[in-house]
Amino acid sequence: MSTAPFACRSCGARGLKPILSLGHSPLANSLPTADQVNEAERTYPLDLVFCPACTLVQITETVPPEILFHDYLYFSSFSDTVLENARALAEQLMVRAHLTSESRVIEIASNDGYLLKNYKVRGIEVIGIEPAHNVAQVAIAAGIPTIVEFFDIPLSERLVAEGKRADLIHAHNVVAHVADLHGVVGGIAHLLKPDGVAVIENHYVKAMIDYTEFDSIYHEHLCYYSATSFKNLFAAHNLALVDVEIIPVHGGSLRVYFQRNDGPKSFAQEGGERVRALLNEEVAWGVANYDFYKGFGKKVERLRDELTALLKDIKSEGKKIAIYGASAKSSTLLNYFGIGKETIEYVVDRSTAKQGRFTPGTHLPIYAPEKLLQTHPDYTLLLTWNFVDEILHQQEAYRSQGGKFIIPIPELRII
């Protein structure tokens, strides 16, 4: 793949280094309906590169956000794990950030209101910002005030003019999704009160590399962050990295906290040592060294060979295989590994918004999880492996009847 014309999304440097090419792929959350399944699907290049100047890992293709997010099919509330993590984080931050009924919490890409509802029930003012109209309407119906727009500097200026600066800003799994990084981060800086805090959460690039989590790569995910690349990006907007956490969500995520350089950095008092330790650790494992990333492609190829061989052996025995999870992750894996109707019977997913549709590219039908008990496939390939414990618990009845799960990542295993 060629990266010559592409400039880093964060620092503008050129000369980016190739890590992995996944070829041309359909949009991971664009699930065709029965009426659309026979239409030609548009595909886009999916190439991962590394910036030696600021350490940001990113893809080179930018699909217009109006295409990606206008009618979005991901609803956070369908995952018990996501809901519990949101509740626990909100409870923690209400204490740590000294939030009261006079405080204001704003979330960028607030989805269906799954996080903000935890603040609202405690009498704290909340504002959601969610560009996907269908998802925003679910939040509004649940009583979460939601602005149906993309977040940028003009929107932040409008909110400030209306007297709506934030004590706390959440941006979970969104800074990876935006092409205009400086518009979003600049907007956060403008919208924060002098003593406010921004909590940003995204998949951790080290976990992606270490555990071969290549299925986290799809067109919505433009960037893949380390604490170092986060620090470099936000420093350009007068925001200081004051605390960090590595959390298990989505196979390993990074939660970072930022406060204004020109305000009191209260979170740095207990978080400063964690920041220093993780930045030093990243230097040690090679965050700025291309050698750390360039072997990633070979690890992905090895996993492809192992998984496809296993599925072929199972099919040769006359066994049936289904899939759990019509996720964006599953789209990347199925399309790159070339796994489709010749191997898989169908897909199940808990999201009612996805049931009755088909998987991108591979066009496998999507049903409710109850389908597993109705048809009893011998094996189910679990492609939402990041929720493995939750799903195995939900599927105890299927497992008690002899059903087995194949977990492909972080290592191939059968349960």
Instruction: Pick the range with the lowest mean pLDDT from 163-172, 262-271, 316-325.
Output: 262-271
CA–CA dist 45, 48 (Å, integer):
10
pLDDT by residue (tens digit) across 222-262? 999 999 999 999 999 999 999 999 998 777 899 999 999 99
C-alpha distances in Å from residue 323, one per residue of 41, 130, 317, 319, 369: 22, 30, 18, 14, 10
Asked if residues 237 and 189 have their Cβ atoms less than 8 Å apart, the reply is yes
pLDDT by residue (tens digit) across 320-362? 999 999 999 999 999 999 999 999 999 999 999 899 999 999 9
**3-class DSSP assignment, residue 281:** helix
CA–CA dist 414, 306 (Å, integer):
13
CA–CA dist 260, 242 (Å, integer):
10
- The answer to whether domain 150-292 and domain 304-414 are alike in fold is yes
pLDDT by residue (tens digit) across 51-89? 999 999 999 999 988 787 656 555 666 678 788 889 999
**Residue 408: strand pairing partners:** none
Helix, strand, coil in percent for the chain, rounding step 5: 35, 20, 40
Query: Residues, the chain, total?
Result: 415
CA–CA dist 20, 46 (Å, integer):
9
Q: Tokens standing for 364? A: 């496998």
CA–CA dist 415, 413 (Å, integer):
7
Q: Tokens standing for 295? A: 């072997």
Which CATH superfamily, name and number, covers 150-292? Vaccinia Virus protein VP39 (3.40.50.150)
Taking the domains of the chain in order of start, what are their residue ranges? 150-292, 304-414
> Number of helices and strands (H, E) in the chain?
15, 17
Q: Which CATH architecture describes the domain 304-414? A: 3-Layer(aba) Sandwich (3.40)
